[in-house]
Amino acid sequence: MSVHVYRLAHRLSALGIECYIISSCNPTGIIDGVEVVHAQSKFAVAFQCIKLLPKMPVYHFHTMWNNGICKFLLKLFRQRIVSTIHDTMLLDKHIAATFKRRLLSRFLIWQRSEKYIAVNKNVQIILEGMGVPLRDVSVIPAFLTETCQLVDDVPVSVKEYIEKHESVILVYGWKVSFEENGSDIYGFHTALEVYAELVKKQSSIGMILLIPSGDPDKYIENFAKTMIVDDKYYLHTEPIRNMGKLLSLTSVYFRPSTTDGDSILIREALAAGVTVVASNVVERPVGVVEVDSKISSFVGAIEESINGEEQKPLEENYFDKIIEVYYTSGKNRISSRLAQKEEV
């Protein structure tokens, strides 16, 4: 499950609201007090959702395309649905979809029994173009701060690397991915070029590339050798859950992506008071240092950020906004439960 889904479910459970996560990635069980139900196929997801009908006032989906059958069945039972749309490539998927699939999505929208959460304004515009009424769309970034007390799982080797440098830049991407034109989506190629320029001026600067999928192939290593930084940067390929701790040890979070949605780690860094330097390929959150994708621009922005004033943590209460969408989704059970909690 995604970090956002887990944190949302954990906060709902903390309010005493019965909450289940149906996941294709996690086994059935309890995670920090949140009940997870494993369902691998679309039909298994639909079965589990129907099974929970007597208990659930609202169903919150975090994908639009993979749950069409499930949503259709739930709407036959007049269930209220909230969908968070994370993907800014949504329009391309809609155009590329089969006629029947597009027709089904139009039918589901026409029923108007669904509320949408767009992670940014770009997604809102795309949904509007697909026929979703603006009154049914709320723009709410997919970020909630961590409420669990996490163990410090930052590896010793990573800490030792950080301790050896005056300043450390963190670059993150789940895996090495490329667009159709060959562009490195997360910008690892660009990050290494920028780092090569930075260490020429200040050898005490370090850079960590975090690629938790564990499969960066030889692309990163070979290009690092080309940039003559293969013995200077640090490549980590295992997941780190306590990203807040890792961010607190770094100076700058660098996001040189060639395309983007609403990066949760950008908001994680801002919430931790870490300076964020990012490409201006999409509208970024307030507080991000946005620059064009020229190497010299990135180098200048990072140098200025490292030598600048310490950033204050930015606090955003997006959870209350999500709850407001639940309130207006047309069911009273969750509303009355929340109202009882507020009276206490």
Listing DSSP states for 170-208 in one string gives EEE-SS--B-TT--BTT-HHHHHHHHHHHHHH-TTEEEE
Q: 260 and 176 share a domain? A: yes
Q: 10 and 136 share a domain? A: yes
Q: Are 42 and 28 in contact (CB under 8 A)?
A: no
Structural domain harbouring 166: 156-307
| Per-residue confidence (pLDDT) for residue 168, from 0 to 100 | 97
Cα–Cα distances (Å) from 11 to 4, 6, 318, in that order, read: 11, 9, 12
Asked whether residue 263 carries a pLDDT value surpassing 90, the answer given is: no
**Rounded to an integer, what distance in angstroms lies between the CA atom of residue 124 and that of residue 65?**
17
Kindly give the interhelix angle for 188-201 and 295-307, rounded to the nearest 10 degrees: 60
The candidate with the shortest Cα–Cα distance to 137, out of 151, 148, 121, is 121
Q: How sure is the predictor about 75, in pLDDT bands with cuts at 50, 70 and 90?
A: confident
Q: 135 and 189 share a domain? A: no
Q: Are 266 and 278 in contact (CB under 8 A)?
A: yes
Q: 169 and 250 share a domain? A: yes
Cβ neighbors of 312 (< 8 A, separation 6 or more) are: 273
DSSP state of 231: T
Q: 27 and 139 share a domain? A: yes
Instruction: Please give the share of the chain, as a percent, with pLDDT higher than 70.
Output: 85
Q: Does 151 reside within a domain?
A: no
Looking up residue 222, the CATH number of its domain turns out to be: 3.40.50.2000
Q: 300 and 321 share a domain? A: no
Q: How sure is the predictor about 27, in pLDDT bands with cuts at 50, 70 and 90?
A: confident
**Rounded to an integer, what distance in angstroms lies between the CA atom of residue 158 and that of residue 165?**
11
Q: 54 and 122 share a domain? A: yes
Cα–Cα distances (Å) from 317 to 86, 253, 312, in that order, read: 18, 22, 16
Strand residue runs (E) in the chain: 20-23, 29-31, 34-38, 58-61, 80-85, 114-118, 137-139, 167-172, 205-210, 234-236, 252-255, 275-279, 289-291
Q: 175 and 301 share a domain? A: yes
List pLDDT tens digits, range 264-275.
Answer: 899 999 988 999
Q: Does 103 reside within a domain?
A: yes
Residue type, 59: Y
Q: Does 150 reside within a domain?
A: no
**Count of structural domains within the chain:** 2
State mean pLDDT over 162-170.
Answer: 97
Asked whether residue 342 carries a pLDDT value surpassing 50, the answer given is: no
Q: 116 and 41 share a domain? A: yes
| Per-residue confidence (pLDDT) for residue 91, from 0 to 100 | 53
Q: 113 and 138 share a domain? A: yes
| Per-residue confidence (pLDDT) for residue 344, from 0 to 100 | 35
**Rounded to an integer, what distance in angstroms lies between the CA atom of residue 99 and that of residue 88?**
21
Q: Does 33 reside within a domain?
A: yes
